[in-house]
Amino acid sequence: MKMSAARIERALTQFEALVLPDDHPAVPQLHDLFGDHTFFLDRTGLHIVEPAGATPAGAPTGQVVKLASWTDSEQTSLATHPPEPTDVVIVLADGGETAH
C-alpha cells in the first residue's frame, strides 16, 4: 500500500526501518517489480505494509511484509523472494482516522 506522510511517520515509531523516498533511484524499479507501495529497509531487507484490518477501536492496521533479503553482511545487495508476512502489525491511525 502507498502510505501518506502521517502513516509513514506513525509506522516508523512502531517498526525500526528507513523509508525509501519516492525520489530514490531504486523506487521506479521497485514499483515495476512490486507495484505502487511505500518501501522500507531494515537490517533484514526490503519491506512493504499491507492492509490488515482494524483494532477493536476501529484504527486501521497494516502487516509488514518482507519482499527481499540482504545477500551480504554489508547490506549492499538485495535478493527478492516470495512475499513473507512478518509478525509485525502496525497501527496506522487512531480509531477516528480513516483516510489514507
Structure confidence at residue 99 (pLDDT): 45
- Residue 65: inside a domain: yes
Model-wide pTM > 0.75 = yes
Is 13 a member of any domain? yes
Confirm whether 55 is domain-assigned: yes
**So what's the pLDDT on residue 35?**
96
The angle subtended at Cα 63 by Cα 24 and Cα 21, nearest 5°, is 10
pLDDT averaged per 10 residues in sequence order, the chain, 100 residues = 95 97 95 97 98 94 98 95 97 64
> 98 in a domain, yes or no?
no
Pull the grid cell for residue 20. Answer: 525509501
Give domain status of residue 17, yes or no. yes
